[in-house]
Structure 1
Amino acid sequence: MKDISPDHTIILAKMRHIEELEQLSICTAFVDTIGLLIHQIQAERGASCLYLASSGQRFGNERSDIIEQNQDAELKFREALQRHLDQNNLVDAKQLTLVSWILLGFDQMTALRHQITLHKISFPDCIASFNRFIGSLISLIFDITDNAVNSRISTSLLALYNLVQGKEFAGQERAVGSYMFGSGQVQQEHQQKLLELIVLQDRHFELFCQFGGKALHKAWTAAMGASTQHRYQQYRHKLTHAQDGQSVKIHDGYEWFELCSQRLSEMWQMQCWLIKDMHDMLETLINDAKNDLAKTRQYLQKTQRQPAKQPTALDSTFFNLSIPVENAYTFLAHDKQHSYPMESIVSLLQQQSQQIAEIENELAETKQALAERKQIERAKGLLMSQRGISEVEAYKILRSTAMEQNRKIIDVANNILARHSLV
């Protein structure tokens, strides 16, 4: 058995780093597949709502074509899931449980589609069923984001999550509006839902622009300012400002559906752009990590060929007391203002610690954003349960309380959860 040495373990650390990046690349490919599936299920939901609203008179053929495409998408999802599980040891029990729910949803999708075809399901139940399934897929994206080990990829995944979640609310808006046009009149219940969906979209798209970077923010602004968006906003205004029971032109449902679909397609293009950017980023990171590993091996081989030096004092390497202990072997970047007399392996370890420190510090900011999102969602869910209110109303309470008390929303959320734990 070969003796374990600092040389061996520093090489192992760099090899593990490469493995983490390669596993993250597999995760990103899986997220890409999930995003495509969500996009196509959203299209099926929209077609199903028009089909039900028209009592099966319209969108029957289109719906059938979409279902056929989605059956192929399901197979691709299962194949990508198998690769994800086979090649990724980052998958934990929580994620596997969520995957189990998604697979159960797939198993019951045939029955849901059959109920829609036979008009044996109401519009609210139809859209709620699709929303639940899509919501589970989006939750899987969030869980993968939460487990990401690279700060740059984690930030991009967080931007992607908010884009996909905002796009989902936009898809629900298309479905609700399509049903209202298809039925020929505005119902207050559906109108209120539309208003809630608009608020939820705005919140997630704001976070998408925050984490997506300047280029995506610029592209988003340009896309949302396009001429077709003006026509879409006119239809949105018509639906949200109409009187309860007011008639609308059924024929306008076609243009509404197309305008919303075009808007969703633009979001989809940005989603593809973001995914490609992550793939390119990971390819570069993996190549850089492999080059670093090769250089480290060459460096260590070179030092091993040099004659061994006899230690003359305790402070020659590990016991160099001029190096602060918190900088010697923890994941903190060393003080660049001072240079320390270090032997080769110590210098290498300091460099490795600094690299990890930079990753950890950057990742901490993204992890904090993820943790705050979880706490806000928990507080929001608690308010919804206790007061019997909608998601938008719960968020409004959090936001207004934060403004009144001059506090952050996360602080208000933590306070609500803390008070509940004491009951």
Structure 2
Amino acid sequence: MNTEISPAQTITLAKIRHIEELERLDSCIAFVEKIGQLIHLIQAERGASCLYIASNGRRFAPERADIITQNQAMEASFREALQQHLHRNALADAKQLTLTSWILLGLDQLTSLRHQITLQKISFADCIESFSRLIGSLIALIFEITDSSVNSKISTCLLTLYNLIQGKEFAGQERAVGAYMFGSGSLQLPHQQKLFELIAQQDRHFDLFCQFGSEEVRQSWLALQATAWHQQHQKYRTKLSAAKDQQTLNPSSADIWFELCSQRLSAMWQIQCQLIQTMHELLAGLASKAKSDFEQTRQYLDAIQATPAAALNSTFFNLAIPVENALNFQTHDTSQAYPMASMITLLQQQSRQIAEMESELSDTKKALAERKLIERAKGLLMSTRGLNEMEAYKTMRSIAMEQNRKIIDVAENILAHHAQPG
């Protein structure tokens, strides 16, 4: 019995692996969708909890209780989706699993946090920070899933989604801070400074969202900004931004502000759902194409086997056949492909497809790598200078503006300087 493995078997296996990768990606998208749903509800609970605390427990208690009930059901759904994700993605790396452990720890301790809020044993600022920490861990998991994607189109969609969700999170924090500012009746400079930082963070991520997003999602974003309620939101944001220290604010504006911000978050949520649906449809199309390609490959191999063996002799060592670019998975001139039906022709085509995918993936991977460097530099500033996250990012942004440089260049310089021996 001949058990020797052949080129035909391995090229067929490559096609099968590609189909399996797309199926795993679809599972990942379904899990990311569930993460996004959980984030959305936790943001709603944070908003209701902050208003509950700001009113000394006199308002939003019923609304908060309803949201908690929804969240408890969503938490159970998330855990189930997590189990399915890990079952279908046995190669989930250590970073994803570690982040997941942090998330599960946070979910396990949510009951205690909610009890503190009910008893008003936690400050407004700590309430925001506690929920934001959990949301931040969920968003970080989305980033790691994005970073592990090897399909260029899906990776770009995931990067678009990540920036939308991250921007939406800062918008949710802006809702809470602004509601507290109006509700307190007077402006405090630290709160206003926090608002400025949140607006800057939103702008950064929404710019990246538009940069990587399709024309369809960019049009949805423009439509959001053209709404009357969005213009009204900008007016109230200007009131908070232009107010002076200790200036009196109208407490009744807190409800209007909260509603306007909620409408804005809901509109972002609709775009988020649109993006998820686009990815599912895109994956369905890619999977269909991959399965068709697999069948064509099988037919092609059958045709090769019917070719007289003498016609295929020495094709690999025929130096007239250009294969070096294919061996290095570099894009090459398809007009120079070997004309005869052979394994060489099939392998050239496969190498070209992989090269094109890697080329398309490079911009997305570059953006992900830059984000990692910025986060590392930010963390270094936090640990060495005793800054919080916002302060560290603001420091880097200020340096970039003063020196007319990109923030990634500043981050690389910070890391390089730290790496130098004392």
Question: TM-score over 0.5 for the alignment?
Answer: yes
Checking the alignment, whether the CA contact within 8 Å between 2:400 and 2:406 is kept in structure 1 is yes
The aligned residue for residue 191 of structure 1 is 192
Q: What is the one-letter code of the residue matched to 1:233?
A: Q
The answer to whether 1:376 aligns with 2:398 is: no
The answer to whether 1:413 aligns with 2:411 is: yes
**1:411 and 1:242 mapped to 2: Cα distance?**
35
Q: CA offset at residue 400 of structure 1? A: 4.6
**2:346 and 2:151 mapped to 1: Cα distance?**
21
- 375 and 305 in structure 1: CA distance in 2 versus 1, 3 angstrom threshold: same
The aligned residue for residue 319 of structure 2 is 321
**1:271 and 1:129 mapped to 2: Cα distance?**
24
Mapping 1:136-285, distance limit 5 Å: 136-285=137-286
Checking the alignment, whether the CA contact within 8 Å between 1:184 and 1:250 is kept in structure 2 is yes
**2:134 and 2:394 mapped to 1: Cα distance?**
26
Give secondary structure in 2 for the equivalent of 1:102: helix
| TM-score, structure 2 normalization | 0.95
Q: CA offset at residue 208 of structure 1? A: 0.3
Q: Deviations 1:106-126 (Å, cap 9, x if unpaired)?
A: 000000000000001111111
Checking the alignment, whether the CA contact within 8 Å between 1:54 and 1:183 is kept in structure 2 is no
- Choose from 373, 383, 386 the match for 1:385: 383
The aligned residue for residue 338 of structure 1 is 336
**2:231 and 2:110 mapped to 1: Cα distance?**
36
- 67 and 352 in structure 1: CA distance in 2 versus 1, 3 angstrom threshold: same
The aligned residue for residue 31 of structure 2 is 30
Q: CA offset at residue 410 of structure 1? A: 1.9
Which deviates further from its counterpart, 134-143 or 85-94? 85-94
Q: What is the one-letter code of the residue matched to 1:145?
A: T
Checking the alignment, whether the CA contact within 8 Å between 2:338 and 2:344 is kept in structure 1 is no
Q: CA offset at residue 31 of structure 1? A: 0.4
The answer to whether 1:353 aligns with 2:330 is: no
Checking the alignment, whether the CA contact within 8 Å between 1:24 and 1:148 is kept in structure 2 is yes
Q: What is the one-letter code of the residue matched to 1:372?
A: E
- 162 and 244 in structure 1: CA distance in 2 versus 1, 3 angstrom threshold: same
Checking the alignment, whether the CA contact within 8 Å between 2:322 and 2:337 is kept in structure 1 is no
**1:198 and 1:46 mapped to 2: Cα distance?**
17
Give secondary structure in 1 for the equivalent of 2:334: coil
Q: Deviations 1:400-422 (Å, cap 9, x if unpaired)?
A: 54455554332221121011011
Q: CA offset at residue 320 of structure 1? A: 1.6
- 214 and 122 in structure 1: CA distance in 2 versus 1, 3 angstrom threshold: same
Q: CA offset at residue 102 of structure 1? A: 0.2
The aligned residue for residue 12 of structure 2 is 11
Give secondary structure in 2 for the equivalent of 1:302: helix
**2:54 and 2:192 mapped to 1: Cα distance?**
15
Q: CA offset at residue 310 of structure 1? A: 6.2
Q: CA offset at residue 151 of structure 1? A: 0.4
**1:212 and 1:89 mapped to 2: Cα distance?**
30
Q: CA offset at residue 211 of structure 1? A: 0.4
**2:208 and 2:100 mapped to 1: Cα distance?**
26
Checking the alignment, whether the CA contact within 8 Å between 1:183 and 1:250 is kept in structure 2 is yes
Q: CA offset at residue 87 of structure 1? A: 0.5
Checking the alignment, whether the CA contact within 8 Å between 2:233 and 2:261 is kept in structure 1 is yes
Which deviates further from its counterpart, 294-303 or 51-60? 294-303
**1:342 and 1:399 mapped to 2: Cα distance?**
58
Q: CA offset at residue 311 of structure 1? A: 5.9
Q: What is the one-letter code of the residue matched to 1:117?
A: T
Q: Which runs of 5+ in 1 are unaligned?
A: none
The answer to whether 1:99 aligns with 2:97 is: no
**1:48 and 1:308 mapped to 2: Cα distance?**
76
- 403 and 324 in structure 1: CA distance in 2 versus 1, 3 angstrom threshold: farther
Q: CA offset at residue 341 of structure 1? A: 4.9
**1:260 and 1:18 mapped to 2: Cα distance?**
42
Checking the alignment, whether the CA contact within 8 Å between 1:44 and 1:66 is kept in structure 2 is yes
Q: Deviations 1:27-47 (Å, cap 9, x if unpaired)?
A: 011000000110110000000
Give secondary structure in 2 for the equivalent of 1:309: helix
Q: CA offset at residue 396 of structure 1? A: 4.4
The aligned residue for residue 128 of structure 1 is 129
Q: What is the one-letter code of the residue matched to 2:265?
A: L
**2:150 and 2:15 mapped to 1: Cα distance?**
14
Q: Deviations 1:332-377 (Å, cap 9, x if unpaired)?
A: 2332343435551110010000001101111122111100111112
**2:327 and 2:249 mapped to 1: Cα distance?**
70
Checking the alignment, whether the CA contact within 8 Å between 2:225 and 2:231 is kept in structure 1 is no
